[in-house]
Structure 1
């Protein structure tokens, strides 16, 4: 019987996700331009059989309970697919469906007619979500590249990643303000009482804290390797600076009796009833 003289393969010869490696060696070089990646992403929007909806749903759950795990996956994607931004639009599709359904619930809670509900949904999807999302993502993308990069000559933040951070941070506020507070506390929200104001404004406080914290996680972990190497961006704590002002504003609205959810309802009604 002949025995092979080739060396026995060892698990140590294979890269592990937890092994410390120098920063340049951990990232695959970006081989596709932003236009090519955008084209592939948009093309996959019409191929539902290629989308991983189960994983997208997992991300949605963990954005509430442990958002750090969601952003850890973005760094894994850089090692394997040469980009931080999502290449699978499943999350965007599920978020759009959830936005559509929750907006219908909110429109019905405002006692709008069927036609006005449809107009309200169009406003929410194309103005509040897509329009505002593009503006906010572009602003944060510019600020992070201009002021937060450790090495101005190194890799920059992908715009697609900035948009992913925004829609990640957008999902918990959307759920809290458009769905959960309406379903759970509709009978409490719109009464001229302190309890009504407290419940409504507490939902707003929690929503904005979620948005700021998830945005902070997204940019503070950008480019961060598995073994706690330095991320590509610095001073990402600036995204948490509004928190003290936010808490003071929350207390001020309670003191003045401003029900933020009721004010939002009036704004929505004015927009669709004009």
Structure 2
């Protein structure tokens, strides 16, 4: 083959899709991240992956650049977290193949999540009849404490557990990104936010807050669906990582959740009313 024809050939070079034995000691993307993909190593792939600090800096810097955010795609993810969360995590795998990281590099999802927090906080202010000052306090608590602070704590705990106890023996040289653990939490947090902070507001005064058993059952079932969504989406998030095993351990919480629902019905604890009272007294 002449040098001219070799220069302009369109098929990928054989060295871009190496066998497992020939990848030992190479700097290409680990095969555990590319299993089942017919694609060669992306042309934009960085062989020298950025440090965690560099990724955080780039992510925070993009928070101020709204024109560079893909809000349409972030909204698509929010919709599919309800109807088909597997497709959302499939996209995370594509990001690993093209950008050498699982975690989001676009803060559009976080911005839209904060928007929904503002919307639901207005709804709570109307239901609880909060003053303007109480509403602002409630909004700050919801965004800074309930979402960001709690999310950082939960993501850090799960990040530590997965890296210490769930890494496959053949993948000890790799680890779960903290940013991905935080993304998993935000993904799992969004459906409960809509169910408990938005959907239930339309039924609270007229139905859920009543003393009827059917009202108690309906309100507590909302909690069951919300927490069940969180557990299932968290399971999907960590089972999507090829370097982890035993991800089914997250699903063990579902039977416990059913038991807690039965206990709440027996002792007649209206969980939605407990949530409302907690928010009401916290902002007074």
Same fold (TM over 0.5): yes
* TM-score grouping bracket, smaller chain normalisation: 0.7 to 0.9
CA distance in 2 between partners of 1:134 and 1:242 (Å): 21
Question: How large is the RMSD of aligned CA atoms in angstroms?
Answer: 2.2
1:17-66 deviation digits (Å, cap 9, x = unpaired): xx998582437545200000000000000000000000000000000000
CA distances 1:185-240 after superposition (whole Å, capped 9, x unpaired): 54111111112111110110000000000000000001xxxxxxxx1101011111
Match of 1:247 among 235, 238, 258: 258
In 2, Cα distance between equivalents of 1:33 and 1:139: 21
Give the aligned partner of residue 268 of structure 1.
279
Distance, in Å, in 2 between the alignment partners of 1:32 and 1:170 is 28
**Do the aligned residues in 2 keep the contact of 1:219 with 1:233 (CA within 8 Å)?**
yes
* TM-score, structure 2 normalization: 0.85
Q: Which residue of the partner structure matches residue 192 of structure 1?
A: 211
Describe the SS at the equivalent of 1:241: helix
Is structure 2 residue 86 aligned with structure 1 residue 75? no
**Which sits farther off after the overlay, 246-255 or 141-150?**
246-255
- Shift of residue 103, structure 1, vs aligned partner: 1.6
- The structure-2 alpha-carbon separation of the partners of 1:14 and 1:200, relative to structure 1 and needing over 3 Å to count, comes to farther
Residue aligned with 2:5, SS: coil
> Which residue of the partner structure matches residue 136 of structure 1?
154
> Where do 1:1-20 residues align within 5 Å?
6=5, 13=12
Q: What residue is the counterpart of 1:225 in the other structure?
A: none
Conserved? CA contact 1:30–1:83, under 8 Å: no
Q: State the match for 1:226 in structure 2.
A: none
| Residue equivalent to 1:175 | 194
| Stretches of structure 2 lacking an aligned partner (at least 5 in a row) | 21-28, 35-40
Distance 2:193 2:200 in 1: 10
Change (3 A) 1:14 1:129: farther
The CA deviation at 1:114 is 1.7
Q: Figure out how many residues of one structure are paired with residues of the other and give that number.
A: 258
TM-score, normalisation: structure 1: 0.88
Alpha-carbon shift at residue 111 of structure 1 (Å): 1.6
- Per-residue CA deviation, residues 103-156 of structure 1 (Å, 9 max, x unaligned), is 221122112122111111111111111110000000000000000000363210
Distance 1:20 1:111 in 2: 64
Partner of 1:95, secondary structure, is helix
1:97-246 maps to which residues of 2 (within 5 A)? 97-151=115-169, 153-222=172-241, 231-246=242-257
